[in-house]
Structure 1
Amino acid sequence: MPLFTEPLLAPPPPLDIARDALFLDFDGTLVEIAPRPDAITLPPGLAARLAALEGALGGAFALVSGRNLAELVRYLDGFGGLIIGGHGAEARGLSGADTPPPEALAALQSRMSAFARAERLLYEPKAHGAALHYRSRPDFGPEVEAFIQSLLQQFSGFSVQPAKMAYELRPASASKDRALARLWDLPRFAGRRPVFLGDDTTDEPAIAWAAAQGGYGVKVGPGETAARYRLADPAAVLSWLEGGA
């Protein structure tokens, strides 16, 4: 699938609530990226806005994020819909979808935490993996990548997930496109067209999956993408969503 840059992409058409099924990333898509994952600022009334959108779509709606499921549930108290966490390793509302943590998780997290302390990086533990953020040391990315690659040689069952100023190790069996494929079997999505919005490299497989099913993807923010359309930032996403709900 071709990669498109900014001049080639237009905003998406209005969301068709009678025809579309909607899947949204969280960080960088609904909320702005923050210096720390726990320092995000939620748009006013976000949970209620998502609940209204889910109702308008007849339930054909889900959040699909790399964050821990428990964090998403806490941030979105008042939204009771489908939520995928951990890049597909965790799910609320999808029976039998949770992936057991890899056996070596504790040892892996210990190594990553020690490296973060030694190199003055931000370490983010996750229910099924962990991430190293180097936003505070933007030139240190190659060293972080080399360390992450060395861990892959020592610990089985994980895959590397590059992100914005971060590298994450997640279960090899978890990915957003696989999560979408499982969601797609639910009766509420039957006969609809998938639309996926995301901002990061972890979202590209889901964008490609949506296109392969006859739908489309929307890239949020700058950068190359396989998406057909682009929105500038989370504020633009929320404005677009208001037009569909």
Structure 2
Amino acid sequence: MDDFAGTKPAPPALDPQKDALFLDFDGCLLEIAPTPDAVQVPADLPQLLTDLSERLGGALAIVSGRSLRELTRFLAGYDGPMVGSHGAEARGMTAPMEQMPDGLEALQGELAQFASDQGLLYEDKSHGGAVHFRAHPERQAQAEAFVQDLAHRYPGFAVQPAKMAYELRPDGYSKDGALALLSALPAFRDRAPVYAGDDTTDEPALAWAEAHGGYGIKIGAGESAARFRLDAPQQMRDWLASARED
């Protein structure tokens, strides 16, 4: 909870012997970019994650709304567990999804056409799609209404609000569900979950970490279930680097 001034303290030092670390990607490890493909990955980030994973005995995972193929491409050199598409696909554990919901290609086609017609950005995802209205915030209401209609017509998918975007993802999958599955793996078991994220999509996972003996780290401004806060991805990377060096 925020204090009376609406602020949260910085997180404590990571405990490599007791903690398990779960990290969002966009807005947490990396600064938000004008388009999803424009993010800038620091050259040393994959090695930082690899080194820190070793210190944690393998108890480090990336948990993102990005597709697994994108995470693998952007973080080439880091070979640890990754969860993509809000928990619907994974590397380093059994993939949670056994069968794709019906209508994926048709849904993606309608979403892409809507984005084109409205002058918005469409983001293709392996398990759904997203429409970004960052360049045209006045069209948020139209975007929301359209994706809600799509979710009604394609019942295997659910609307996932994000920063200046609406996404359609397979229903029944979430980042907190991913944390529950990851925490059952040997490397993560009996460790305190520490989750860091910046978006509304991260709030269930932040709350899950707080409720299961660990804590959450909110990146940036805004209300959050997390007890701790860092201002921006650079501060997050600095915190990770200090944990590697302790």
2:64 alignment partner in structure 1: 65
1:70-109 → structure 2 map (5 Å cutoff): 70-109=69-108
Runs of 4 or more above 4 Å deviation: 2-6
Specify the code of the residue in structure 1 equivalent to 2:73: R
Conserved in 1, the CA contact under 8 Å of 2:218 and 2:228? yes
Conserved in 2, the CA contact under 8 Å of 1:6 and 1:222? no
2:44 alignment partner in structure 1: 45
For residue 116 of structure 1, give the secondary structure of its aligned residue in structure 2: helix
Deviation at 1:84, TM superposition (A): 0.4
Identity of matched residues, %: 52
Conserved in 1, the CA contact under 8 Å of 2:89 and 2:95? no
**Structure 2: which 5+ residue stretches go unaligned?**
none
Specify the code of the residue in structure 2 equivalent to 1:89: A
Conserved in 2, the CA contact under 8 Å of 1:5 and 1:225? no
Q: 1:6, 1:130 → 2: CA distance?
A: 38
Deviation at 1:143, TM superposition (A): 1.2
Conserved in 2, the CA contact under 8 Å of 1:33 and 1:40? yes
* Residues 94 and 123 of structure 1: CA distance in aligned 2, closer, same or farther (over 3 Å): same
* Residues 105 and 4 of structure 1: CA distance in aligned 2, closer, same or farther (over 3 Å): farther
* Residues 3 and 126 of structure 1: CA distance in aligned 2, closer, same or farther (over 3 Å): farther
Q: 2:68, 2:84 → 1: CA distance?
A: 4
Q: 1:145, 1:68 → 2: CA distance?
A: 22
> Deviation digits for residues 8-54 of structure 1, max 9, x if unmatched?
31111111111110000000000111011000001231111100010
Deviation at 1:150, TM superposition (A): 1.1
Q: 2:138, 2:99 → 1: CA distance?
A: 35
Deviation at 1:169, TM superposition (A): 0.5
* Residues 144 and 215 of structure 1: CA distance in aligned 2, closer, same or farther (over 3 Å): same
* Residues 5 and 40 of structure 1: CA distance in aligned 2, closer, same or farther (over 3 Å): farther
Say whether residues 1:138 and 2:156 are aligned partners. no
Say whether residues 1:162 and 2:187 are aligned partners. no
1:33 alignment partner in structure 2: 32
* Residues 180 and 4 of structure 1: CA distance in aligned 2, closer, same or farther (over 3 Å): farther
Conserved in 2, the CA contact under 8 Å of 1:5 and 1:224? no
1:231 alignment partner in structure 2: 230
1:187 alignment partner in structure 2: 186
For residue 123 of structure 1, give the secondary structure of its aligned residue in structure 2: strand
Specify the code of the residue in structure 2 equivalent to 1:167: Y
TM-score normalised by the chain length of structure 2? 0.96
1:244 alignment partner in structure 2: 243
Deviation at 1:128, TM superposition (A): 0.7
Q: Cα RMSD (Å) of the superposition?
A: 1.4
Instruction: Report how many aligned residue pairs link the two structures.
Output: 244
Greater length-normalized contact order (CA 8 Å, ≥ 6 residues apart): 1
Q: 2:120, 2:64 → 1: CA distance?
A: 22
Conserved in 2, the CA contact under 8 Å of 1:101 and 1:127? no
1:218 alignment partner in structure 2: 217
* Residues 6 and 69 of structure 1: CA distance in aligned 2, closer, same or farther (over 3 Å): farther
Q: 2:5, 2:66 → 1: CA distance?
A: 27
1:115 alignment partner in structure 2: 114
Deviation at 1:75, TM superposition (A): 1.0
TM-score normalised by the chain length of structure 1? 0.96
Q: 2:5, 2:100 → 1: CA distance?
A: 38
For residue 84 of structure 1, give the secondary structure of its aligned residue in structure 2: strand
Deviation at 1:82, TM superposition (A): 0.2
